[in-house]
């Protein structure tokens, strides 16, 4: 949640390509439009060119991850 809030500069509950561009530049990470296109294409499931919190979490959750409450004891 903290990383999403950092990216969601305006507090709109979504992250735009401009938000990602700004963050990457602030961190000194080279960014170009092709790279931003690839990030949005990979993470944006509804095609609105904006990343919702659920899309963001899904992108960062490892495959096969099970929350602790659902793990066998």
Q: Per the domain annotation, does 66 fall within a domain?
A: no
Predicted local distance difference test score (pLDDT) of residue 26: 94
Q: Per the domain annotation, does 68 fall within a domain?
A: no
Predicted local distance difference test score (pLDDT) of residue 68: 57
Predicted local distance difference test score (pLDDT) of residue 21: 94
Predicted local distance difference test score (pLDDT) of residue 72: 46
**Total domains present in the chain:** 1
Q: Per the domain annotation, does 27 fall within a domain?
A: yes
- Euclidean distance between CA atoms 40 and 73, whole angstroms: 38
Burial of 10 (0-12, 13-18, 19+ CB in 10 A): exposed
Q: Per the domain annotation, does 67 fall within a domain?
A: no
Q: Per the domain annotation, does 69 fall within a domain?
A: no
pTM of the model: 0.75
CATH number of the domain at 51, please: 1.10.238.10
Predicted local distance difference test score (pLDDT) of residue 49: 92
Structural domain containing residue 6: 2-58
Per-residue model confidence as pLDDT tens digits over 35-45: 999 999 999 99
Q: Per the domain annotation, does 73 fall within a domain?
A: no
For strand 51-52 and strand 14-15, is the pairing parallel, antiparallel, or unpaired?
Answer: antiparallel
Which residues of the chain are under the pLDDT cut of 50?
A: 70-73
- Euclidean distance between CA atoms 12 and 52, whole angstroms: 10
């Amino acid at each position: 949640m903290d990383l999403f809030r950092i990216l969601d500069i305006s507090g709109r509950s979504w992250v735009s390509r401009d938000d990602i561009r700004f963050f990457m530049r602030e961190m000194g990470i080279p960014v170009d439009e092709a790279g931003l296109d690839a990030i949005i294409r990979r993470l944006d499931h509804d095609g609105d060119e904006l990343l919702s919190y659920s899309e963001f979490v899904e992108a960062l959750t490892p495959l096969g991850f099970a929350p602790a409450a659902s793990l066998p004891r």
